[in-house]
Structure 1
Amino acid sequence: MRGPRFFQTVQSKIIIIYVLLILMAMQLIGVYFVRTMERSFIDNFTDSLNKQAYLLAGFAEPYLNASQDAGSATAEGKKSFADLNEIVNNLFNISDAEIQIIDANGLVLTTSLQTQSARIGQKNLQNEVISALQGIKDIESETIDAEGNRRKIVAQPVGEGTKVMGAVYIEASMEPLYGTMNRINKIFLSGTVIALVLTVILGVILSHTITNPIKEITRQASAMADGNFNQRVSVKGPDEIGQLGNAFNHMTNRLKEALSLNEEEKEKLSSVLSNMNDGVIATDDQGKVIVVNRRAKRMLNIGSEDVTDRDISDVLGIPKEQIAKHVSGERQSATIQVADEEEGDFVTIRVVFTPIHRRDIGITGTIAMLQDITEQEKLEDARREFVANVSHELRTPLTTMKSYLEALDDGAIEDPTLAHRFVGVMRNETERMIRLVNDLLHLSRLDSRKAMVSKEPTHIPDMLEEVADRFSFQLDQKDISIQIKVEAGIRDVMLDRDQIDQVLDNLVSNAIKYTPEGGAIVIRARRTEREWLEISVQDNGIGIPRKDLSRIFDRFYRVDKARSRNMGGTGLGLSIAREIVKAHGGTISLESELGHGTRVTFALPVQQMEGEAV
């Protein structure tokens, strides 16, 4: 991450603020100090000039008084002005200043500057002199000469009250004073610069003590953003920065724990979603997919396709309007069908929509639960078909019996021959119903696992020979040959002889029914690679169409319903055979090709505990 520029950092801001504060304070102090010092110097300078003017006025008063008494034309008066001039030049000599003694008429009697000696005897008409001759004291003013130098003028009257004998006029240069002020300003400016340099150095040191912990916290925050929660901020004191560091370390620990818990919960949720038998699709408030588990992808035949950010209506193939109705609660579930490429059939899926609510916001998304109800639908269809088949199987003989009974009641009972034939038909129909009910009871016991498998040592060759003997009459009637082929080494096997005989009877009976005259049936017994006993019954009869093979073991399922019913079958033989084989822990399968015969094979494990419940 690129760092901020220097003037954008907190350190620079602290230094700048610190320097500006010191500079402002120094300027305020400097202005106040310079102004005060300048005023003090000027006042002292003016006061010094006034004091000298007072003193000089005291010295000049006797001379001006004597001059007025004796007359200005006498030699003694001239002598007095010469003495006064000597006093002014020697006693009151002020550097770069002009001192004039002026009489009551405004005439210049003496001056301290030799260059201004020509002005002696001339009138001085300046306002300060006029005011002093009027008896006004402490007159002062400032002026600027032709060379641009600032000068101070003071004037004091000589004499007191109404008797003003003259005036003392002093004009002194103020440049030395301002020169001193300039030197002091330079010294103050140099001190200010030195103070600012020291302030910058101290500001850098001070800002480091503040910004270094902040920089460390910033680095730690960046490390946290990158997922590193192992570093800690060093706390060097109990001040606010130290408290911030402690709070940040505490926050780091809590955040680390929270993220760890979040990751754990996320992994749990991911594991739950991945291993759910139901599909899950989650969307945002716009209906865009944000989460989809593997089961949902398999159910919808999406595979590895990324459906994130796709609209759920496109994924499910349901219009948006219908989804909105489901989410709003009018009808929360919908049923869709998806083509199963592997089975070449359709899968029925129930989709249950549940809105995601957030407080003060409302619906922020939708959860769609996908349930594969294909088997349920098949079971429901099978149940309905089973009920219909049982009803049909029972209705046919009952209808026949009713019609014959009505015929007997109408007078056929009076004809012995006809009555005997009618009673024989009703007996056959009754036996047919008894067989059907017995088969249903047998299947019910097998389904409820109430039937016990009573295993006993059974000689396989003898068992198969006995099966062939039981059907010898039917075989001779249709001129069908039967062969028994038993692999060498197969002798006694533990199994339930009665139930396996029932399986073989059903298989051989079916083979005889659907094999034309002159056909052949082969019964084989062998051991498989897993050391199981495998018995197969194969014929060269009419065979079974490929489309019926998947349902051939279903209850009441017949390939040719009319022909099968006429042959006396109930449609439960293969179903009973399958349940008996399953009760023994074995498997059964059927292979057939239309016009080329059928082979039914079942395999039984030879190692079983005697008396095992099924």
Structure 2
Amino acid sequence: MKKRLFIRILISYCAVILLVAAIVAVLFSRQIRLIETKQIEEGLLHTARLVSLHPFDEIRSNIRLLAQEAGARVTIIDAGGGVLADSRVDVSQMEIHLNRPEVEEARLRGSGKSVRRSSTLRDDEMYVALAVRNDKGIKGYVRMSRSLREVEDSVQRMYGFLYRTIGFALLPTLLLALVFTRKIFQPIREIRDYTQAIRRGDLSGTLLVKASDELGQLAEAINYLVEEYREKILLAHQEKGKLEAALASMVEGVVVLDSQGRIESSNRGIESILDRRSSEIHGRSILEAFMSADLQRALERFRRERKPVLEEIRLSGKQPNIVDVNISDIQGLPAGEEKTLLVFHDVTRLKKLEQMRTDFVANVTHEIRTPLTAIIGFLQTLLAGALDDRETARKFLRTIAGNAERLSRLVDDLLTLSSIELNETNLKLEPLSVDALIRTVLPMVESSAAEKKIALDTIISGAVPGILADRDRAVQVLMNVLHNAVKFTPEEGRVTLFCREDGAKDWVVLQVEDTGIGIPSQDIPRLGERFYRVDKARSRELGGTGLGLSIVKHLMASHGGKMEIASILGKGTTVSLFFKRA
């Protein structure tokens, strides 16, 4: 591009120089031709006047001498146009000359001229005719002619001189043209290099062009545009950064589809919903990425109606999710660049909480209604007359008292669980001896274990350090676990309490292992939910509220620990309590 532009400018200079030289040559040749022709005409006319002063007979006898002295051809013509004498040609071979333009003009005006090609001499000649008069009128004509070859020779000499002059002047002229071309092209090259750098994304620096002409004004305009461009790019980067930060911090999943229906971009929220990296779904269709026919139908409905669509979708996968998806257009884009925005709000937890709330209300209602029904029924029976039978009344009152105690335990457990979940339980964490904790809890379950002839064993591995716990809550946790172990272990079974240290993670682990009925593997993940029982009939028969393990789970979490359950159906269950080391 550089060479082509430079050569074009240089050739333009050379063309202008050559064109000027050609115009000068044409004008000069024309002017020289006119001057030379005029001089020849005036000379011939002057010579013709001098010759006409002599008698025709004298002219005829001395015509060659006159022609030699005049340096021209001399022709004597009579009044009728006949040639009387000619200095070059035999008159017998010449025709009548009355119709010659110069003779006709001389007959009318006294003198005439003409430039034409001579049919006799085969050459371009200038003819001048002069009418010779006497008393009776025109006596004849004296015609002088001269070849115009010398005019052409003068023009050719002028051309030779001009060519030599142009030849001598061409080299310095070309050097000047080269210098001026380089001077003109230098700012153009700087502008080109600067704009190419901008095209590559390099916006640093400023265009410096030392010129006050249009190129300098162009450079100032480019600098102004680049500065505006820098500000807009900076603003765009800032806005993009804000948008990316907002999208990254959003819990909701965001997906943008291009005009072809392919996933163009997404945020981190969608990764947690799909449990896949964003790069794995980019470039795919919605159906390929989400594998959901319901979502595809919602998208097709949006494309038909071109109205925002809000729909609840169930997504299958490793962890099935329920999401509210909002599908809408992205506004403000150029024509032909339609993009679609899908915003996914994961409502799985809300749905679970709603289900838990529903189950909780149903379970609480059922748990309260059962003892209340018994209490009301026995009271009504007593009021109806059974009170008079002391033995029956005593039996009914014991049943009423047992159901009242069951209601009281249920209310106490609900209040405890609610207090823990609302963080209203103030734990007084302190170093606590494991031996002291065990000695405090074991007597509380020994009587119930003795009734079922269940052996209670304690195995402590080495010197176990203390735990960081609230004394009363730690007692409550261990007692609930031991109570469940005794309750669900058949007669003559065994409940063993292990204590060990997990030095790798600074845990002190209390394990309660029983030889009870065990728990099916599919039910283990749900243990710790409110009112969840593996065997509801047996649990109610044994007086359980279904809240014991839920309280244990939440209390362990409040201590910064955890509860783990392992079980083999028909062989027994192991509950592990992880306390922080003191």
TM-score (norm 2): 0.86
Give the equivalent residue in structure 1 for 2:521: 546
1:94 and 2:89 are equivalent in the alignment: no
Alpha carbons of structure 1 residues 30 and 519: separation in structure 2 relative to 1, 3 Å: same
Q: Quote the Cα distance in structure 2 between the aligned partners of 1:123 and 1:537.
A: 156
Q: Quote the Cα distance in structure 1 between the aligned partners of 2:133 and 2:68.
A: 19
Q: How far 1:386 sits from its partner (Å)?
A: 1.3
Q: Quote the Cα distance in structure 1 between the aligned partners of 2:579 and 2:411.
A: 28
Q: How far 1:202 sits from its partner (Å)?
A: 4.2
Q: How far 1:149 sits from its partner (Å)?
A: 1.2
1:334 and 2:312 are equivalent in the alignment: yes
Q: Quote the Cα distance in structure 2 between the aligned partners of 1:360 and 1:123.
A: 92
1:156 and 2:130 are equivalent in the alignment: yes
Give the equivalent residue in structure 2 for 1:138: 111
Q: Quote the Cα distance in structure 2 between the aligned partners of 1:133 and 1:586.
A: 141
Give the equivalent residue in structure 1 for 2:362: 388
Match among 18, 38, 45 for residue 40 of structure 2: 45
Name structure 2 gaps, 5 residues minimum.
Answer: none
Q: How far 1:230 sits from its partner (Å)?
A: 4.0
Alpha carbons of structure 1 residues 329 and 336: separation in structure 2 relative to 1, 3 Å: farther
Is contact 1:136-1:156 (8 Å) kept?
no
Q: How far 1:590 sits from its partner (Å)?
A: 2.0
Residues 70-115 of structure 1 show CA distances to partners (whole Å, capped at 9, x for unaligned) of: xxxxxxxxxxx458855972697222x22245566878776655x7
> For 1:203-602, what aligned pairs fall within 5 Å after superposition?
203-230=177-204, 232-256=206-230, 258-259=232-233, 262-263=236-237, 266=240, 269-270=243-244, 273-274=247-248, 276-303=250-277, 306-316=280-290, 317-318=292-293, 320-326=296-302, 328-329=306-307, 331-340=309-318, 345-358=319-332, 361=335, 364-454=338-428, 460-487=434-461, 489=463, 495-529=469-503, 532-602=507-577
Q: Per the alignment, in what secondary structure is the counterpart of residue 522 of structure 2? A: helix
Q: Per the alignment, in what secondary structure is the counterpart of residue 156 of structure 1? A: strand
Is contact 1:465-1:484 (8 Å) kept?
no
Partner AA of 1:137 in structure 2: G
Is contact 2:80-2:98 (8 Å) kept?
no
Q: Per the alignment, in what secondary structure is the counterpart of residue 339 of structure 1? A: coil
Q: Per the alignment, in what secondary structure is the counterpart of residue 153 of structure 1? A: strand
Q: Quote the Cα distance in structure 2 between the aligned partners of 1:170 and 1:603.
A: 143
Q: How far 1:366 sits from its partner (Å)?
A: 1.8
Alpha carbons of structure 1 residues 454 and 104: separation in structure 2 relative to 1, 3 Å: closer
Is contact 1:532-1:604 (8 Å) kept?
yes
Alpha carbons of structure 1 residues 190 and 475: separation in structure 2 relative to 1, 3 Å: same
Q: Per the alignment, in what secondary structure is the counterpart of residue 280 of structure 1? A: strand
Q: Quote the Cα distance in structure 2 between the aligned partners of 1:401 and 1:548.
A: 33
Residues 236-291 of structure 1 show CA distances to partners (whole Å, capped at 9, x for unaligned) of: 22222123233334444554555455456545655554554433211123322111
Alpha carbons of structure 1 residues 208 and 494: separation in structure 2 relative to 1, 3 Å: closer
Residues 571-607 of structure 1 show CA distances to partners (whole Å, capped at 9, x for unaligned) of: 1111222233333333222222112212222233354
Alpha carbons of structure 1 residues 143 and 515: separation in structure 2 relative to 1, 3 Å: closer
Q: Quote the Cα distance in structure 2 between the aligned partners of 1:123 and 1:301.
A: 120
Residues 373-428 of structure 1 show CA distances to partners (whole Å, capped at 9, x for unaligned) of: 33332222222211111111011112223333443454444544333333332222
Is contact 1:282-1:365 (8 Å) kept?
yes
Partner AA of 1:94 in structure 2: A
Give the equivalent residue in structure 1 for 2:51: 56
Q: How far 1:336 sits from its partner (Å)?
A: 2.8
Greater Cα offset, 153-162 or 264-273: 264-273
Return the index of the structure with the highest Cα Rg.
1
Is contact 1:85-1:111 (8 Å) kept?
no
Q: Per the alignment, in what secondary structure is the counterpart of residue 574 of structure 2? A: strand
Partner AA of 1:93 in structure 2: E
Q: Quote the Cα distance in structure 2 between the aligned partners of 1:254 and 1:235.
A: 19
Partner AA of 2:521 in structure 1: R
Q: Per the alignment, in what secondary structure is the counterpart of residue 547 of structure 1? A: coil
Q: How far 1:182 sits from its partner (Å)?
A: 3.0
Q: How far 1:549 sits from its partner (Å)?
A: 1.2
Q: Quote the Cα distance in structure 2 between the aligned partners of 1:362 and 1:107.
A: 96
> For 1:5-44, what aligned pairs fall within 5 Å after superposition?
9-44=4-39
Q: Quote the Cα distance in structure 1 between the aligned partners of 2:549 and 2:105.
A: 153
Q: Quote the Cα distance in structure 1 between the aligned partners of 2:107 and 2:216.
A: 79
Greater Cα offset, 210-219 or 456-465: 456-465
Greater Cα offset, 393-402 or 539-548: 393-402
Q: How far 1:442 sits from its partner (Å)?
A: 1.1
Q: Per the alignment, in what secondary structure is the counterpart of residue 367 of structure 1? A: strand
Is contact 2:63-2:87 (8 Å) kept?
no
TM-score (norm 1): 0.81
Name structure 1 gaps, 5 residues minimum.
Answer: 65-80, 608-614
> For 1:122-133, what aligned pairs fall within 5 Å after superposition?
126-127=98-99
Is contact 1:135-1:162 (8 Å) kept?
no
Q: Quote the Cα distance in structure 2 between the aligned partners of 1:457 and 1:163.
A: 163
- Aligned pair count reads 575
